[in-house]
Amino acid sequence: MADHIKIRPATGTWVVRAAGAVLGESTNALELTEGDYPPVIYFPRADLAMAFFDPTDMSATCPYKGAASYFTIVAKSGPIPNAAWSYENPIEAVAAIKDHLAFFHEKIAVEQV
């Protein structure tokens, strides 16, 4: 793993909400910190209502984490495009985030409760 990336259990209970609906709650979330960027909370898929997530064609590649896939959230008020991402097959050094999703805070509320 790159020395500037740290992954650890996110303490407490975390909730993700979109358009007023709770999409997931987890006590098994992970916190990833990368350099000077703010920490990102990764939720296990098992703790999310995956029926509300549609894969998109958007992708990106990070030299430290691998290829990212994106998801649109299907909310009651309408779709929220590319609001979540996941590393389906992350680089071995960050394998802990496999089967987890993270969210753009500008689009989705992620909170510790």
User: Per-residue pLDDT tens for 7-25?
Assistant: 999 999 999 999 889 999 9
Domains plus CATH for the chain?
A: 5-112 (2.170.150.40)
**What are the residue ranges in the chain where pLDDT is below 50?**
1
What is the reported pLDDT for 98? 97
What is the reported pLDDT for 49? 96
What is the reported pLDDT for 2? 65
Whole-number Cα distances in Å, 58 to 29, 37, 39, 87, 90 = 24, 22, 23, 13, 17
The token duo for 54 is 């549609």
The token duo for 92 is 């071995």
